[in-house]
Amino acid sequence: MRRETQKKPLRNVVFALLIILILINPSSSFGLTLDEKNTISKLETKVAKGYSGKFCNAIGIGLSKESAIRLSIVENIKPKFNPSLWLDLTLSGKSEIEKIDELSLIDTIVVNISKECGYPIGLKSKNDIQEFKEYFLSIKKEII
C-alpha cells in the first residue's frame, strides 16, 4: 500500500515536467525540428536533381521517355551512386535520406523535369505533368 502511494506523486511530477517541456519547446517535442526539416528538404532537392538531371540527359541523347525514366531510376536507386550526396552520406549516413517523403520527392522530380526538359517531351500543361507523374510512379513501382 505504501509503495502505491509513493508512485502517484512521482507520476504527477513526471507528467507535470512533460507538460512544461511541451509548452516551452513544442517543435522539439513532436516530430522533426526545423533544422531536420531543412536538411531533409535540401537532401530532397539534391536527390531530385540527380533524377531529373539523368532523365533530361537521357532525353537529350535521344532515349525515349520510358527508357530515360528507367535509366534515372536505376541510377538513383542507391544514394551512393549520386555524387552530389556523397558528403551528406558521409556526415549523416543514410538515415537522413531515408526520412525523405517519397511522394514529395516524386513531385520535386517531376517539377524539375518539367522545368529542365519538359517542353521537348510535351509537358506543357498541369494535366500533362500529372500524367507524367503517374507514368513515372508506375515505372518506379515496377522497377522496385
22, 68, 101, 144 from 126: Cα distances, Å: 42, 21, 22, 27
Do 60 and 117 contact (CB within 8 A), yes or no? yes
Share of the chain above pLDDT 70, in %: 62
The number of C-alpha atoms within 13 Å of 59 and in the hemisphere containing its C-beta is 18
Looking at every residue in the chain, the average pLDDT score rounds to: 78
Q: How many Å separate Cα 71 from the centre of its chain? A: 20
Note down the domain range covering 10: 1-31
Phi, psi of 56 (to 5 degrees): -65, -35
Tell me, yes or no, whether 6 and 75 share the same domain.
Answer: no
Q: How far apart are CA 64 and CA 133, in angstroms?
A: 16
Tell me, yes or no, whether 89 and 49 share the same domain.
Answer: yes
Tell me, yes or no, whether 74 and 12 share the same domain.
Answer: no
Tell me, yes or no, whether 36 and 77 share the same domain.
Answer: yes
111: part of which helix (H) or strand (E)? helix 102-117
Given this model, what pLDDT does residue 12 score?
Answer: 76
Q: What is the mean pLDDT of residues 55-73?
A: 94
Using the predicted structure, report yes or no on whether residue 85 has a pLDDT greater than 70. no
Q: How far apart are CA 100 and CA 15, in angstroms?
A: 33
Given this model, what pLDDT does residue 144 score?
Answer: 82
- Give how many domains the chain has, as a whole number: 2
Tell me, yes or no, whether 25 and 68 share the same domain.
Answer: no
Q: Which cell numbers in the block locate residue 24?
A: 516551452
Tell me, yes or no, whether 63 and 3 share the same domain.
Answer: no
Which carries the bigger pLDDT value, residue 66 or residue 23?
66
**pTM higher than 0.85, yes or no?**
no
